[in-house]
Structure 1
Amino acid sequence: MTATEPHGPCIFIVGCGDIGQRVARLELAAGNSVAALARSDDSARTLAARGIGPVWGDLDHPDTLNQLPAALATLYYFAPPPPTGGDDPRLRALLAALPAPPERVVYISTSGVYGDCQGAWIDEAAPLQPRTDRARRRVAAESALLAWSGRQGVPCIILRVPGIYGPGRLPVERIRQGVPVVHPAEAPYSNRIHADDLAAACRAAARQGRPGAAYNLSDGHPTTMTDYFQRVADALGLPRPPLVSLAEARRTFSPAMLSFLEESKRLDNRRMLEELSVVLRYPDLASGLPACLAEV
């Protein structure tokens, strides 16, 4: 596979999965040239079929990152850190391999960096208190990116994202399998954003995000994971998941699932709405879930 070298500054997406491709569609519709990192021929063909120029490279093998575009208008970095460790060598490798600094960087992080806030409403000034290794890697990545941004003089915008839902992203199989959820009275708060709104917010951040700022990207109407699963089940006409106590969940749920139950927070999204001028198409589950069902 050979690299695609765009003509002039381009939009470059690293981690061009579902959200990356949604952002790419918005950028292409605006008449911009879009390229994305691809680490396999299959990925390259998928990107090319969507009008996205594939650029070969594997973040886990920095020596392959030698064909990156020389002129970048916006670098969208959506790739996750590795599944282990306390840092994000993938992000560091990409930044080190860039032939020239981009005009700006938009980085997707996670709301997990705030840790457990015991159900409180929090804005972007809340302290970062990650409780999981996954969230600690994100904090390390944010710190590394901001330090690099300061040295290079490149505006960098950090987006702290909670659970994402949308067509093809609903927990359909889990509900069909009857996997239990925590009783509503004990369920912690969780936050969500529809995939289309997330993509639109990413593009808004690239255009008017404040350099060095972080933004909570959520629909502003947190509920609980239990409420979410019940609403999805109702929308699909499926039986609601069985309920268990939090104590029973702690005995039987996987560590990954438990990590979501041990944190409770409600994200304040006012900075996103006011500074990025984002108008949400789906400001709550009542409006967002029906839009997902056509592709289920």
Structure 2
Amino acid sequence: MFKHAFIFGYGFIGAAFAEALRADGYTISATARAPEKRSELTAQGIIAVDPTDPTALKTAVEQTTVILLTAAPNDEGCPAFTALSPLLVSAAAPRRRWIGYLSTTGVYGDRGGSWAFEDSALNPISREGQRRVDAEQQWLGLGQHTGDCVTVFRLPGLYGPGRNVLERLTDGTARRIHKPGQVFSRLYDSDCATALMASVKRPRPGGIYNLCDDEPAPADEVLVYAAQTYGFEVPPEIAFDDPNLSGGMKRFYAENKRVSNALAKAELGWRPQYSTYREGLAAIYASMSS
């Protein structure tokens, strides 16, 4: 069977998912706005698609059975929904495409450190979180209309090669911000990709899954562990209410929750390879040292 996937928004997770797809025999199309980025994708054997080109988008949609949507919504809404929903509604075949939408655990808002499950009430406290709630509803509604297998994945902070605390310690940009009782969930990029592939193989229309590792932990605890374990100086502590912190950082620390991955494990048979930040950092350090 011909297997083709289309990634709308080829970034950090798009690249990890593409690697997993290739290993499973898929050819891949992906969007990129900049001509130089499209050239890079072409050089990697990926069919580059200009997201502003309706003809190219139509071709990509018509030939694919797997679509991943990674682009974040903005003031105008979800750019992927605006661009693709008319094509998905009108496309004659194939039906029952797998469509994965990457949302965030920010849809749960602040839970005071308690656990968030897929059926927990959504209470976003940021504009960005509300946009994600709106986009989730758009895509799930589209799946009901078209018969496609739309699945929503709620992601925490992602890390991996190119985006991690060890590299920030190396270049001196790591900041040790402390808020008593604060915890965050996180996920290694390749573990996100394997969960997406597990969903492709076990599709459930309307499915919603939290994806994260097994151990929520304070961000400053992770930083101190990384510094002490791998020979870096521990940065000085910064209070979470320091007036010099950016608005984005303050919003980040306004939410405190533990995110459960139990449903993804139970339904998809998925297990994170890097079950805590310790295993993930060890893998990153090994790659940096090789």
- After TM superposition, the score normalised by the length of structure 2 is 0.89
Which secondary structure state, in structure 2, belongs to the residue aligned with residue 118 of structure 1? coil
The amino acid that maps onto 2:83 is A
Q: Which residue of 2 aligns with 1:293?
A: 285
Output the aligned Cα RMSD.
Answer: 2.3
Separation in structure 2 between the aligned mates of residue 142 and residue 15 of structure 1, nearest angstrom:
16
Which among 171, 185, 188 is matched to residue 191 of structure 1? Answer: 185
State whether residues 110 and 255 of structure 2, in contact with CA within 8 Å, keep that contact through their aligned partners in structure 1: yes
Alpha carbons of structure 1 residues 147 and 221: separation in structure 2 relative to 1, 3 Å: same
State whether residues 167 and 294 of structure 1, in contact with CA within 8 Å, keep that contact through their aligned partners in structure 2: no
Which among 54, 61, 68 is matched to residue 76 of structure 1? Answer: 68
Moved more, 33-42 or 151-160: 33-42
Q: Which residue of 2 aligns with 1:181?
A: 176
Separation in structure 1 between the aligned mates of residue 54 and residue 227 of structure 2, nearest angstrom:
44
Number of matched residues? 283
**How far is 1:178 from its partner?**
6.3
Q: Which residue of 2 aligns with 1:228?
A: 222
**How far is 1:42 from its partner?**
1.7
Separation in structure 2 between the aligned mates of residue 134 and residue 264 of structure 1, nearest angstrom:
16
Tell whether 2:106 aligns with 1:112: yes
Alpha carbons of structure 1 residues 211 and 259: separation in structure 2 relative to 1, 3 Å: same
Which among 145, 152, 160 is matched to residue 146 of structure 2? Answer: 152
Which secondary structure state, in structure 2, belongs to the residue aligned with residue 215 of structure 1? strand
Q: Which residue of 1 aligns with 2:196?
A: 202
State whether residues 13 and 20 of structure 1, in contact with CA within 8 Å, keep that contact through their aligned partners in structure 2: yes
The C-alpha deviation readout for 1:6-43, integer Å capped at 9, x for no partner, is: x9552111111221122112111111222112223222
Moved more, 62-71 or 232-241: 62-71
The C-alpha deviation readout for 1:175-217, integer Å capped at 9, x for no partner, is: 4546643336x15110001111011111112221421121000
State whether residues 176 and 238 of structure 2, in contact with CA within 8 Å, keep that contact through their aligned partners in structure 1: yes
Alignment of 1:137-286 (within 5 A): 137-172=131-166, 174-175=168-169, 176-177=171-172, 180-183=175-178, 186-247=180-241, 249=242, 251-286=243-278
**How far is 1:136 from its partner?**
1.0
Separation in structure 2 between the aligned mates of residue 231 and residue 181 of structure 1, nearest angstrom:
11
Query: What runs of 5+ residues in structure 1 fail to find an aligned partner?
Result: 1-6
The C-alpha deviation readout for 1:38-70, integer Å capped at 9, x for no partner, is: 223222222222222212223xx8797454341
The amino acid that maps onto 1:42 is E
Q: Which residue of 2 aligns with 1:13?
A: 7
Q: Which residue of 2 aligns with 1:3?
A: none
The amino acid that maps onto 1:143 is Q
Query: What runs of 5+ residues in structure 2 fail to find an aligned partner?
Result: none
Moved more, 211-220 or 40-49: 40-49
State whether residues 178 and 241 of structure 1, in contact with CA within 8 Å, keep that contact through their aligned partners in structure 2: no
Separation in structure 1 between the aligned mates of residue 286 and residue 87 of structure 2, nearest angstrom:
41
**How far is 1:88 from its partner?**
2.0
Q: Which residue of 2 aligns with 1:122?
A: 116
Which among 79, 84, 91 is matched to residue 81 of structure 2? Answer: 91
Separation in structure 1 between the aligned mates of residue 175 and residue 164 of structure 2, nearest angstrom:
16
State whether residues 166 and 285 of structure 2, in contact with CA within 8 Å, keep that contact through their aligned partners in structure 1: no
The amino acid that maps onto 1:132 is S
Which secondary structure state, in structure 2, belongs to the residue aligned with residue 167 of structure 1? coil
